[in-house]
Structure 1
Amino acid sequence: MTGKKALRVSADEVRPNRRRGGDIRVTLSPATAGSTSGFGGVLYLDRAEHVTEHYHPYSEEFIHVVAGELEMTLDGDETVKLGPGDSLLVPIGVRHRLVNVGDVQAYCAFHLSPLAPRPELGHVDTEEPLIPGGPNPHVGGAP
């Protein structure tokens, strides 16, 4: 045992990041929980809503769909349909864009690992964010 205690963070306690679409809440990260190997949280997407295309140059992204019907486009041409209970691994460096194609709000859990050397290096936009120049919280929602 390391003597460290487990830390619980509720999605309701985290400021939503809507810059790239949807309601993304990073719950466990270096900023929120002192994690050292990755970060994760939850994503809510309303009907027809999407997360703009991007990639992670240092991290794999793990996505697990809890509710809703989604389509993930990978590298601009491969589309993967996802539903409740489905999980998807997005490899390091693969461009991806997620769209809610269902009739209800979609809900996913996600995790990225390993961490980029600095938070601002972990995410590369390949499509203009929905809120240009808007707040872009670092991992964990830090200003």
Structure 2
Amino acid sequence: MSAPAVKVAVDTVEANTKRGGDIRVTLSPRTVGCRSGFGGRLTLAPGEYVTEHLHPYSEEFLHVVRGRLEMTLDDQPVQLTVGDSLLVPIGVRHRLVNTGDETAEAVFHLSPLAPRPELGHIDTEQPLNAAAGNPDVGGADVGGAQAGGVR
């Protein structure tokens, strides 16, 4: 028998603002107990950005659903708009900026998972809000998250 599907409402997940913007990891080992990757939604106001970083173990898949964005990959800018999807390969430095005049939204997925959550991101630029912590993928807190209205 397969495991039951688990639905997560984006508004029930704490925002990660450490690197800029509003990043909400909705599907992760912490929220649903998955083991192959994690994903969620990113919102950036006009001019807002996510600081440069890289993922040493994971590919990142980004799908733009609203607005205009520019992803810089190893110093090479790529323009993105509604309907565009982008693959960020493992180990590639990347920084995302909202270059439009409206709020931009994208959905993302990263896989495979790093061996431990703290190994998933390497910051190559000073995070904007290091005091915000990192309510990301984390350990298995599935029970608490489900009790908080995640099911």
Fold equivalence (TM over 0.5): yes
**Does residue 1:11 correspond to 2:17, yes or no?**
no
**Does residue 1:125 correspond to 2:137, yes or no?**
no
Gaps of 5+ in 1: none
**Does residue 1:93 correspond to 2:62, yes or no?**
no
Deviation string 1:54-110 (CA, Å, 9 cap, x unpaired) is: 0000000000000000000011x2100000000000000000000000000000000
How high is the TM-score relative to the length of structure 2? 0.89
**Does residue 1:137 correspond to 2:135, yes or no?**
yes
Measure the CA separation in 1 of the matches of 2:7 and 2:65: 20
Secondary structure class of the residue paired with 2:23: strand
Match of residue 107, structure 1, among 105, 108, 111: 105
Number of aligned residues = 141
**Does residue 1:57 correspond to 2:56, yes or no?**
yes
| C-alpha distance 69-134 of structure 1, shift in aligned 2 (>3 A) | same
The structure whose residues are more often helix, as a share, is 2
Whether the aligned pair in 1 keeps the contact of 2:60 and 2:89 (CA below 8 Å) is: yes
Who is 1:78 aligned against? 76
Measure the CA separation in 2 of the matches of 1:129 and 1:120: 15
| C-alpha distance 141-46 of structure 1, shift in aligned 2 (>3 A) | farther
Shift of 1:142: 8.2
| C-alpha distance 141-43 of structure 1, shift in aligned 2 (>3 A) | farther
TM-align CA RMSD: 1.6
Who is 1:69 aligned against? 68
Secondary structure class of the residue paired with 2:8: coil
Measure the CA separation in 2 of the matches of 1:102 and 1:73: 15
Q: Which runs of 4+ in 1 moved over 4 A?
A: 140-143
Amino acid at match of 1:106: A
Whether the aligned pair in 1 keeps the contact of 2:67 and 2:104 (CA below 8 Å) is: yes
Secondary structure class of the residue paired with 2:114: coil
How high is the TM-score relative to the length of structure 1? 0.94
Secondary structure class of the residue paired with 1:41: strand
Shift of 1:140: 5.8
Measure the CA separation in 1 of the matches of 2:107 and 2:132: 24
**Percent identity between the two aligned chains:** 67
Whether the aligned pair in 1 keeps the contact of 2:67 and 2:82 (CA below 8 Å) is: yes
Gaps of 5+ in 2: 142-151
Whether the aligned pair in 2 keeps the contact of 1:20 and 1:130 (CA below 8 Å) is: yes
